[in-house]
Amino acid sequence: MRRMGIAFSASVAFAVGVLTLISLLLGDHPELYGNVAGAEIWAGLLALPAAVLLRLVTLTVAVTIVIGIVNLLHVHAGRGLRRQFYSIVMIASFAFTMYWYLTRQGDTSLLAAVQVPIESALAALLFLSMAQGGARVMKKRADIWGLLFVTVMVIVLLGTLPLPALAPLREWSDWLMDIPVGAGARAILLGIALGTVVAGVRILLGQDRSYRG
């Protein structure tokens, strides 16, 4: 029975995946059909499965967010009953925000007054951490690679400064950003693309079955 379940779910995933792929590739592109009669109609029909399935996916994701919220509340409610302070604060904040938003339609001042400043402050702390971290690169490894790392870092930073005296360094900085960094960025993006293709193929072939949970 378990094997049948696996085979069934894999078959459904395979069928839906292939259908979506065909629909995205051939749908809404009547020019691909040449002079075939009714090309527009066929292209429109082929585009339909992808549109419907994508809509289903986005709705499912939206539902999972609701489920996530409910689960979060459930977990913290349990902890709150055990008098865990932060869970009580979380539940109270949730209730207050819900009340605020429902009674003042469209008022997002809580977001502007609380969440944005807090998150911006946390992001600003990153600058201090990065600077302190950059100062300690040679602490553990005082070798040629550490020196190279620090040198590149300082050149790039100096190149960003709008000081006329540093104009020659700006060319070095631009070169570093355009060539090595650009090459690295493209390599990362190529890796992501290849990884995505491989993951898609593995799911279509039934080797990855993450959809079974």
Q: Given the rule CB under 8 A, which residues bind other proteins?
A: 3, 6-7, 10, 47, 50-51, 54-55, 57-59, 61-62, 65, 105-106, 108-109, 111-112, 115-116, 118-120, 122-124, 127-128, 130-132, 134-139, 142, 146-147, 150, 153-154, 157-158, 160-164, 177-178, 181-182, 184-186, 188-189, 192, 202, 205-209
Query: What's the closest the beta carbon of residue 38 comes to other proteins, in angstroms?
Result: 21
- Kindly state the smallest distance separating residue 158's Cβ from other proteins, in Å: 6
| Choice between 78 and 134, CB closer to other proteins | 134
Least distance (Å) between residue 67 CB and other proteins = 13
Q: Looking at the chain, list the stretches that DSSP marks H as alpha helix, in order from N- to C-terminal side.
A: 2-26, 39-81, 85-103, 109-110, 116-135, 137-140, 144-160, 167-176, 182-205
Q: In angstroms, give the least distance from the CB of 131 to other proteins.
A: 4
What tokens does 118 get? 């807090």
> Quick one: 23 or 80, whose CB is closer to other proteins?
23
C-beta atoms surrounding 50 within 10 Å:
19
Q: Which is nearer to other proteins, 12 or 81 (CB)?
A: 12
The answer to whether 155 and 173 have CB atoms below 8 angstroms apart is: yes
Which residue's CB is nearer to other proteins, number 83 or number 136?
136
Nearer to other proteins among residue 81 and residue 130 (C-beta): 130
**Residue (of 193, 172, 169) closest to 181 by Cα position:** 172
Query: How many Å from the N-terminal Cα to the C-terminal Cα in the chain?
Result: 17
Query: Least separation, in Å, of the C-beta of 112 and other proteins?
Result: 5
In angstroms, what is the minimal distance from the CB of 147 to other proteins? 7
Task: Considering the complex, state which of residue 58 and residue 78 has its C-beta at the smaller distance from other proteins.
Answer: 58
- Three-state DSSP at 1 gives coil
Which H, E and C letters describe 9-60, residue by residue? HHHHHHHHHHHHHHHHHHCCCHHHHCCCCCHHHHHHHHHHHHHHHHHHHHHH
